[in-house]
């Protein structure tokens, strides 16, 4: 559910069609457990202080400037006003520039998700027209806007009664796949091994349900905090290491046999 306070308000524009809209943050880490750094001698929080890397002396905030490294330990200095002067002026408009098929969207470029809704009754009909048009054509819209001090490209797609807007990474921010995969050997799997792999996959076909995703680390942190408050001691978690696979075909056959028995049989076997 989006926060009630909009992150950004402006206009969604498609040629002559315009409607007021609002962006709401769709994901947040604010519910995670946060630890502060404290001084155990006093119980007070420790504050961060910037010091000169050579002299070790504190540098007040008003005396700090930005620097771009042009050589080892040599920096080109910039005042805050110089950097601020480059921030593009915002006309508060999400201007739709293109429509592309859904299957052309490379998810590597998706950055941050937002809920996009009408901002007031006046634009609800235009908003619905754009939303339903996208759904009918099974496509997404690419828009441009000044968001958070930068000109950003935004991917807009229909979702239930509203729209989802994802800011997109710039091309230079996405590393090419070749750099990661260039050392992988060209192995072709076929025959019985491929059949067994497909069988295992078929037995685990399901639906995408984020509610089933467990954040075990966060749950463990919460339990640790509760135990500490209650004066209990926690048993350290035992990490089960996977066994080394000696024969891939045998491992596939065993996995396929276990998949046939189902999860109940596996629990009984354990």
CATH of the domain at 149: 2.40.290.10
Domain end: 134, 153, 173, which one? 173
The answer, yes or no, to whether residue 193 has pLDDT greater than 80, is no
DSSP 97-108: EEEEEGGG--GG
| Same domain, residue pair 137 and 192 | no
| Same domain, residue pair 93 and 158 | yes
pLDDT category at 265 given cuts 50, 70, 90 is very low
| Same domain, residue pair 142 and 105 | yes
The sign of the CA dihedral 46, 48, 50, 54 is positive
| Same domain, residue pair 15 and 131 | yes
| Same domain, residue pair 15 and 130 | yes
Q: pTM of the full predicted structure?
A: 0.73
Structure tokens at 129: 């027209």
| Same domain, residue pair 133 and 195 | no
Which H or E element spans position 203?
A: helix 192-203
| Structural domain contains residue 48 | no
Return the DSSP state at 172.
Answer: G
Q: What is the tens place of the pLDDT at every residue in 116-149?
A: 999 988 889 999 999 999 999 999 999 999 988 8
Compute the average pLDDT of residues 98-118: 93
Q: Residue 2's pLDDT is what? A: 46
| Structural domain contains residue 266 | yes
| Structural domain contains residue 40 | no
- If we measure between CA atoms, which residue out of 22, 25, 24 comes closest to residue 11? 22
Number of domains in the chain: 2
Compute the average pLDDT of residues 79-85: 88
Which residues constitute the domain of residue 270? Answer: 185-203+245-270
Compute the average pLDDT of residues 49-55: 92
| Structural domain contains residue 144 | yes
Structure tokens at 76: 């080109």
| Same domain, residue pair 120 and 191 | no
| Structural domain contains residue 1 | no
| Same domain, residue pair 108 and 190 | no
- Compute the distance between CA of residue 20 and CA of residue 115 in angstroms, rounded to an integer: 14
Q: Residue 99's pLDDT is what? A: 96
Which H or E element spans position 205?
A: none
| Same domain, residue pair 125 and 146 | yes
| Structural domain contains residue 233 | no
- Compute the distance between CA of residue 186 and CA of residue 103 in angstroms, rounded to an integer: 26
| Structural domain contains residue 191 | yes
| Same domain, residue pair 163 and 249 | no
Domain end: 173, 194, 218, which one? 173
Place of tokens 């008003």: 62
Q: Residue 262's pLDDT is what? A: 61
| Same domain, residue pair 156 and 199 | no
Compute the 3-state secondary structure of the chain and give helix, strand, coil in percent, each to the nearest 5.
35, 30, 40
pLDDT category at 1 given cuts 50, 70, 90 is very low
| Structural domain contains residue 220 | no
| Same domain, residue pair 126 and 23 | yes
């Amino acid at each position: 559910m989006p926060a009630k306070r909009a992150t950004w308000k402006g206009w969604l524009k498609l040629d002559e069609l315009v409607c007021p809209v609002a962006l709401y943050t769709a994901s947040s880490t604010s519910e995670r457990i946060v630890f502060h750094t404290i001084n155990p001698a006093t119980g007070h929080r420790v504050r961060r202080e910037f010091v000169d890397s050579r002299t070790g002396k504190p540098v007040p905030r008003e005396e700090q400037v930005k620097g771009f490294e042009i050589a080892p330990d040599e920096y080109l200095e910039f005042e805050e006003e110089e950097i601020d002067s480059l921030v593009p002026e915002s006309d508060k408009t999400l201007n739709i520039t293109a429509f592309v098929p859904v299957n052309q969207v490379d998810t590597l470029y998706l950055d941050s998700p937002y809920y996009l809704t009408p901002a007031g009754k006046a634009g609800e009909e235009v908003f619905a027209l754009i939303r339903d048009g996208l759904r009918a054509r099974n496509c997404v819209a690419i828009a441009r806007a000044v968001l958070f001090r930068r000109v950003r490209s935004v991917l807009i797609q229909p979702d239930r009664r509203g729209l989802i807007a994802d800011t997109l990474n710039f091309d230079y921010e996405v590393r090419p796949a070749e750099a990661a995969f260039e050392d992988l050997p060209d192995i072709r799997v076929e025959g019985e091994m491929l059949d067994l792999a497909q069988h295992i996959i078929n037995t685990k076909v399901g639906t995408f349900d984020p509610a089933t995703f467990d954040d075990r680390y966060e749950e463990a942190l919460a339990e640790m905090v509760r135990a500490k408050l209650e004066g209990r001691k926690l048993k350290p978690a035992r990490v089960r290491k996977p066994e080394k696979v000696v024969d891939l075909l045998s491992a596939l056959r065993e996995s396929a046999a276990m998949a046939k028995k189902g999860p109940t049989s596996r629990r009984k076997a354990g």
